[in-house]
Structure 1
Amino acid sequence: MADSQAQKPKVVLHWLEKSRSQRILWLLQECKGLDWEVKTYKRQPNMLAPPALKEVHPLGKSPVITVESPALSKPMVVAESAAICEYLCDHFAPHLVPKRYKEGQEGQVGGETEEWLRYRFYMHYAEGSLMTLLLLTLFMDNLRDGPQVPWFIKPVTKLIVGQIDSFFLKPNHKTHFSFLDSEVASSPNGGQFLCGTELTAADILMSFPLIAGKGKIDRQEYPKLTAYMDRLEEHEGYKASIKKIEEISGEP
């Protein structure tokens, strides 16, 4: 009889420091029946990813996973956070996806559950509307007072960024954070997560932009949202992912 262990699929997460790949490590903690390992990469002094990542995927970005399986003649590469989440959930973590249809309405237009509709929305919103806004915010913060900006130009960049902050960033922050605060408050069945009572892959995907941008989210103004963020950081899977990468990298 063939060794059953040798027949199990295996995933390698190519993890880049200070990147969105941390949430994929959390997702791997939640997967069942899967062998996985982590290969770490350090950023270059200019904060770009190292050239070695382009040997994994032409874009040289992280997260990216390689999948080994008896059905494959060579490892399969899956890139982009949401695509990775969906692939892993399809095979190893279906419990992280809400039930799609209401009883008796399977396959019908409009027969979807509220939990699933929220899940589908947040799987796209996390990397679309929200992450785009937070990346622009990070870029503007660096332009305002980053070490790469010469001191004699900073008065000009601060003035420009201040204007952009006032007429674009702050209004959009308020729109998105208010929306998310209300979404947590109205979670189906009084749930503590975005899609209801159970953690989903959408929560894991949302963890990075929210935790990375928490300095912009006021606790007094958005109490439901910040309490939700606290729950994510206190989740055993999240804490296990942090501990795992500290063990692998030897860095806190």
Structure 2
Amino acid sequence: MAGWDPTQYLRYADERGRPFADLVARIGAEQPARVVDLGCGPGRLTAGLAARWPGAEVTGVDSSPAMIADARRQALPDRVRFVEQDLRDWTPAEPVDVIVSNATLQWLPDHRSLLPRLLDRLTPDGWLAFQVPGNFGEPSHRLLHELAAEPPYNAFTADVERPASAEPADYLADLLALGCRHADVWETTYLHLLTGPDPVFDWIAGTGARPVLQALPEAVRATFEATYRQRLAAAYPPGPDGTVLPFRRIFAVACR
């Protein structure tokens, strides 16, 4: 997977944090002892889990060395720790009470097949909560991949990974088939009002466009970015108060 830049990612920290808060608010665990954030990124939201459950040991797991290094620079209680590891390889020493995964599973091919394993890592009555983007058909992504398929860029991007998600009904069916209780799946489209030049490019450059941009040699990347910025500006024209970026997200919460 392409590398992550914590500074670029945190440029829209408030907007990226809203879905996390909405997800965690629906978790029914009252006094969990062990809480894990899979795909914790720079750890700012993981710290919020420690505030939500003051008696819990909280662990953030992420495969990005840069993200984990940034997370560890925070001044946090001793009961909060961060581990550099691919979540597909993560196995706790003992079952945990809550697993949260925010905007991470979409990066894993066939991530729905991981749900049984994640549930197995929970205590009885433990909670699994995850959120994935559901906007891969929007112009921000469609224009990215259309441009990447054009020469000369396609010579470098043909095998680049592409995030993907299923529909809410699919996740609900998965959780019910696995015997979960209190399964709750929903979707929300946020209308983010972004400011500054090329704000949609700045947004997606920190997340969904990373693999494509990092696959391109520097000289080729410059022309790609210039064209991509132009197409995004046409698809998302600025208004008097900023540029509106509709962003659909899919949420799922369930008790084992």
TM-score normalised according to structure 1 size = 0.31
Q: Which structure features the higher share of strand residues?
A: 2
Q: Which has the larger radius of gyration?
A: 1
TM-score normalised according to structure 2 size = 0.30
